Amino acid sequence: MAESTQGFFGEARARAELGLAVFLNAGDPSLPVLKDCVAMLDESGVSCLELAVPFPDSPTDGPVVRRSADRALAEGVGFAETLAFVAAVRPSLKRLRIALLADWSHSLRAASPADYARAVADSGIDALLAHGLPPRLRPAHHEALREAGLPEVTSCYPASPPATVAEAAAHATGYLYLVARYGRSGSGTPSAGHAGLAPVVGSLRDLTASPIAVGFGVSTAEDLASVALSGADAAIVGSAGVAVVERARETGADPVDAYRSFITTLTTTPESRGGHS
């Protein structure tokens, strides 16, 4: 697998630089176009693709991501199609890691944790983030991922209760996603800016050796620079990139070219890739 000896964001961490993860729904753009987009991301030096199995009516996503999921669902893309897609593109990737985001109710509940963990691992996916996992299933989920050798992505908020933070840190074997603020995706930056999360990132460092990635409200090179000042290992860019795909569809532009240009705006400003403070 890509970066197999260094883990998520390993190359960036080794250079004391900020890693970059981007979010897209499988099926938006369509899978043949997404294949080209994944190859472009790999060539562009993006560390991680958070690839979501599309599901409807997400309570944590804003209108941009919801429309994207609806388009992907209209393309007939589900759990099996997403895993098959990753299995097909994985052999050609040199460095890009793929973390799967799957909603438990829509995509995972039909199978046992052992079965879905094995299916995800066998596809070549590098880690799994389960959305909406019922608390009663968490022990079986964690154990199934360990048995499958599948790293886990967990998440918490700056204001999450200590027990929630501790659980997220304990099971973050892929990376820990620090969601910068409550609300729906695409709803803006935290009030003190991403750099203001430094105390939270510092406290998480005491709880986990896994990388810490900050998302929500990250859409520009300046935002990436602010995330770097927080001391996090990576920034996650979601709605802003999904909006680029949507605009390309509406205008008839090439989504891959449009997304490549967007990545360039994020990564060419020196301070957006600077080291931790």
CA-wise closest residue to 250 among 38, 26, 68: 68
* Strand locations in 2-69 (E): 19-25, 48-52
What own/partner pairs with CB < 8 Å and gap ≥ 24 does 163-166 have?
A: 165/203, 165/204, 165/207, 166/207
Q: Which residues contact 30 (CB under 8 A, 6 or more apart)?
A: 75
Burial 137-154 (b: 16+ CB within 10 A, else e): beeebbebbeebebbbbb
* 47 HSE (CA, 13 A, CB side): 26
β-pairing, 153-156 with 175-179? Answer: parallel
* 88 HSE (CA, 13 A, CB side): 12
State whether the Cα torsion 37-271-238-98 is positive or negative.
positive
Tracing tokens 């909603």 back to the chain, one arrives at 103
Please, what's the largest Cα pairwise distance for the chain? 48
Catalytic residue IDs: 50, 61
